[in-house]
Amino acid sequence: MKCPYCSASDSKVIDSRPTEDGEKIRRRRECLKCGRRFTTYEIVERVPIIVVKKDGSREEFDRQKLLGGMLRACEKRPVSYQMLEAAVENIEQAIRAEYEQEVTSIHIGELAMAELKKVDEVAYVRFASVYRQFSDINTFMEELREILNDRTAREQE
């Protein structure tokens, strides 16, 4: 690691510890030439996830885009931003665990609906209506019936 003070390339690690979020390692280093200390952070290099859209085009996964869609579905609902952040994190972790580098937008949509269903059923239906492009009220009602059947089954357990 290059010293920020004298540009020497030799340094030794004095202390290492994870950051609060556990995503990085904080290292205190000492330059072997000038003796000054500095801090570096080590992070895992993530391979970008490529999303294959319905029309066959490809784009890099954008968690902010996903979060934005989920926020719109939860508008005026009792769902905190932190809950949605956690849901997006769960989705990204699931994608990274299941796939190499490419994932379909369909799969991302299904994961998002599953997370929203856990958080808020109204937000789930809102998201599903846009995602699945409900063409008429009957399609909408079928989705609502499925939610009610799931709720009834859970209550009977």
| In a domain? residue 104 | yes
Could you tell me where the DSSP H helices lie in 34-136?
Answer: 63-73, 81-98, 105-119, 121-131
Query: Is residue 145 in a domain?
Result: yes
Q: What is the pLDDT of residue 22?
A: 82
SS (H, E, C) 9-43: CCEEEEEEEECCCCCEEEEEEEECCCCCEEEEEEE
- How far apart are the C-alpha atoms of 143 and 119, rounded to whole Å? 17
In a shared domain, residues 61 and 109:
yes
Same domain? For 85 and 120 the reply is yes
Residues 6+ apart with CB under 8 A from 151: 121
The domain of 21 spans: 11-43
Indicate the DSSP class of residue 46: P
**Claim to verify: residue 33 and residue 88 sit in the same structural domain:** no
Closest CA to 130 of 72, 91, 89, 60: 72
Within a domain: residue 37? yes
Q: Is the same domain home to 27 and 66?
A: no
Same-domain pairing of 24 and 100: no
Residues 138 and 75 in one domain: yes
The tens-digit pLDDT sequence of the chain (157 residues) is 899 999 999 999 999 999 888 889 999 999 999 999 999 999 887 788 999 998 999 999 999 999 999 999 999 999 999 999 999 999 998 998 886 789 999 999 999 999 998 999 889 888 888 877 776 777 778 878 888 888 888 888 7
Strand partners, 58: 52
Q: In this structure, are 75 and 152 located in the same domain? A: yes
Secondary structure of residue 52 in the 3-state scheme: strand
Asked whether residue 3 is assigned to any structural domain, the reply reads: no
Per-residue pLDDT at 1 = 83
One domain for residues 67 and 116: yes
Question: Are 38 and 81 found together in one domain?
Answer: no
Would you say 122 and 75 are in contact if contact means Cβ atoms under 8 Å apart? no
State pTM to two decimals.
Answer: 0.65
What whole-number distance in Å separates Cα of residue 97 and Cα of residue 20? 23
Domain count, the chain: 2
**Are 97 and 73 in a shared domain?**
yes
> What pLDDT does residue 121 have?
87
151 and 82 in a single domain? The answer is yes
In this structure, the answer to whether residues 61 and 106 fall within a common structural domain is yes
